[in-house]
């Protein structure tokens, strides 16, 4: 039986989700938690597949949205952890009253809404303004890079109200539930896999829809799409906003999984690393992006613990290798195998 490309993609996503769920039975809690951490970057990578792979818009600032999500979740958790006192870093800096913009984060529903709403609205308005001026390609990448830098500079400078360079840490309960014990980590992990599964399905649905086709058309020849009557700036900005929401979700899960969010996790370097997750997995493959995030995340933990001096050599070479020899990433590699077999071993 020959599967269509679309069916294969859905099958891969299902298989991936099954494998990730199977990890709960085979991995010890520590490793499971690590996989959960890598999966938070999987959300970001899916967003990058949509904007970069399909839309041709490379953002080097996804860390901004990852950070927004992560910080908002951390603010909620921190308020719960330190209630009825102020968060510890505020006390140390002599802040006496909670800043107004912390107030909404007492409530979980409001926090969850804001985690999605702020990145979506912010990203859409920013991107629409930029794209309407027909700034694209490298310039857009540099502007997002500058924004990522701005965000870290601002956070590092705001020691008293947002924790500065140390970030926000030391929270261990979620709605009164202990989130550091093994059982709740398991619950968290399963929840994350289920959300990720839904996101992957939705992303696949999008790429196979009319909108997906328009995105590809914009990537390949934006002028023609514009001449056909589409508002390409709106389409690109909408997808960019979607990617921002996905990044924010990833960030929120990251805070929950690791109990920490800090400027170094969301800055320029981290933001560029997020692109490589998608590039390694395959910039056109939704499940590939998640696999790329897990793979690079795992290698990062493994190499930087065992051979710290080789990690950067390795990461740097990966960047170069993928760009030169595997522009479609791992997914492209498997695709070629599949197509090769379907054509009776005859390579295209």
Partner 1 sequence: MSLEIAFMQLFNGVSLFTILLLMALGLAIVFGLMGVINMAHGELMALGAYVTYLTALAFQAVAPGAMEIYLFVAIPMAFGVTFLFGYVLEKGFICWFYNRPLDTLLATWGLSLILQQAYRSIFGAQEVSVPLPTWLTGAWEPVDGIQLPLNRIFIIGLTIVVAVSVYLLLYRTRWGLRMRAVTQNRAMSAAVGIDTKKVDARTFALGSGLAGIAGAVFTMVGSTNPGTGQLYIVDSFIVVVFGGVQSLIGTVMSAFAIAQTQTSLEYLLSGSLAKATILLLVIVVLYFRPNGLFAVKQRS
Which residues of the chain form contacts with partner 1 (CB under 8 A)? 52, 58, 60, 129-130, 133-135, 137-139, 141-143, 145-147, 149-150, 153-154, 156-157, 268-269, 272, 275-276, 279, 309-313, 315-320, 322-324, 327
CA distance 62 to 251: 10
Q: Where are the beta strands (DSSP E) in the chain?
A: 168-169, 173-174, 177-178, 260-261
Question: By the 8 A CB rule, do 183 and 263 touch?
Answer: no
Residue 178: beta bridge partners?
A: 173
Which class for 241: exposed (0-12), middle (13-18), buried (19 or more C-beta within 10 A)? buried
Task: Provide, rounded to whole angstroms, the least separation between the CB of residue 222 and partner 1.
Answer: 14
Task: Provide, rounded to whole angstroms, the least separation between the CB of residue 127 and partner 1.
Answer: 12
Task: Provide, rounded to whole angstroms, the least separation between the CB of residue 51 and partner 1.
Answer: 12
CA distance 167 to 147: 18
Nearer to partner 1 (CB atom), residue 327 or residue 340: 327
For residue 254, cis peptide bond before it (omega within 30 degrees of 0) = no
Nearer to partner 1 (CB atom), residue 76 or residue 89: 89
Which class for 181: exposed (0-12), middle (13-18), buried (19 or more C-beta within 10 A)? exposed
Task: Provide, rounded to whole angstroms, the least separation between the CB of residue 141 and partner 1.
Answer: 6
Helix, coil or strand: residue 348: coil
Task: Provide, rounded to whole angstroms, the least separation between the CB of residue 331 and partner 1.
Answer: 17
Lookup: tokens for 78: 């921190």
Task: Provide, rounded to whole angstroms, the least separation between the CB of residue 157 and partner 1.
Answer: 3
Nearer to partner 1 (CB atom), residue 175 or residue 320: 320
Question: By the 8 A CB rule, do 293 and 45 touch?
Answer: yes
Q: Nearest Cα to 57, choosing from 216, 251, 201, 229?
A: 216
Nearer to partner 1 (CB atom), residue 45 or residue 77: 45
| Overall residue count recorded for the chain in this entry | 348
Task: Provide, rounded to whole angstroms, the least separation between the CB of residue 272 and partner 1.
Answer: 6
Nearer to partner 1 (CB atom), residue 259 or residue 329: 329
Nearer to partner 1 (CB atom), residue 71 or residue 197: 71
CA distance 135 to 141: 10
Nearer to partner 1 (CB atom), residue 60 or residue 115: 60
Task: Provide, rounded to whole angstroms, the least separation between the CB of residue 150 and partner 1.
Answer: 4
Helix, coil or strand: residue 168: strand
Nearer to partner 1 (CB atom), residue 137 or residue 340: 137
């Amino acid at each position: 039986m020959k599967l269509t490309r679309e069916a294969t993609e859905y099958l891969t996503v299902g298989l991936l989700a099954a494998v990730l769920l199977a990890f709960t039975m085979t991995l010890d809690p520590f490793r499971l938690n690590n996989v959960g951490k890598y999966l938070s970057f999987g959300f970001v990578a899916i967003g990058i597949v949509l904007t970069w792979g399909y839309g041709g818009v490379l953002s080097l600032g996804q860390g901004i949205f990852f950070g927004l999500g992560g910080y908002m979740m951390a603010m909620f958790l921190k308020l719960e952890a330190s209630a009825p006192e102020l968060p510890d870093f505020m006390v140390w800096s002599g802040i006496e009253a909670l800043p107004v913009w912390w107030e909404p984060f007492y409530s979980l529903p409001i926090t969850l809404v804001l985690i999605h709403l702020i990145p979506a609205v912010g990203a859409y308005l920013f991107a629409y303004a930029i794209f309407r001026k027909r700034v694209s390609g490298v310039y857009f990448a540099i502007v997002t890079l500058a924004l990522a830098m701005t965000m870290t500079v601002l956070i590092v400078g705001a020691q008293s109200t947002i924790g500065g360079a140390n970030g926000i840490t030391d929270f261990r309960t979620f709605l009164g539930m202990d989130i550091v014990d093994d059982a709740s980590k398991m619950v968290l992990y399963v929840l994350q896999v289920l959300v990720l599964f839904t996101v992957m399905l939705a992303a696949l649905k999008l790429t196979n829809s009319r909108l997906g086709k328009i995105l590809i058309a914009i990537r390949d020849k934006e002028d023609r799409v514009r001449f056909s009557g589409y508002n390409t700036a709106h389409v690109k900005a909408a997808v960019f906003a979607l990617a921002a929401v996905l990044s924010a979700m990833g960030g929120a899960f990251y805070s929950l999984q690791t109990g920490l969010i800090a400027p170094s996790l969301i800055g320029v370097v981290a933001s560029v690393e997020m692109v490589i997750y998608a590039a390694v997995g395959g910039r056109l493959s939704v499940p590939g992006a998640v696999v790329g995030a897990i793979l690079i995340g795992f290698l990062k933990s493994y190499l930087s613990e065992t051979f710290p001096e080789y990690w950067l050599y390795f990461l740097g070479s990966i960047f170069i290798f993928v760009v030169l020899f595997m522009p479609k990433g791992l997914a492209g590699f498997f695709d070629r195998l599949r197509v090769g077999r379907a054509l009776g071993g005859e390579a295209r």
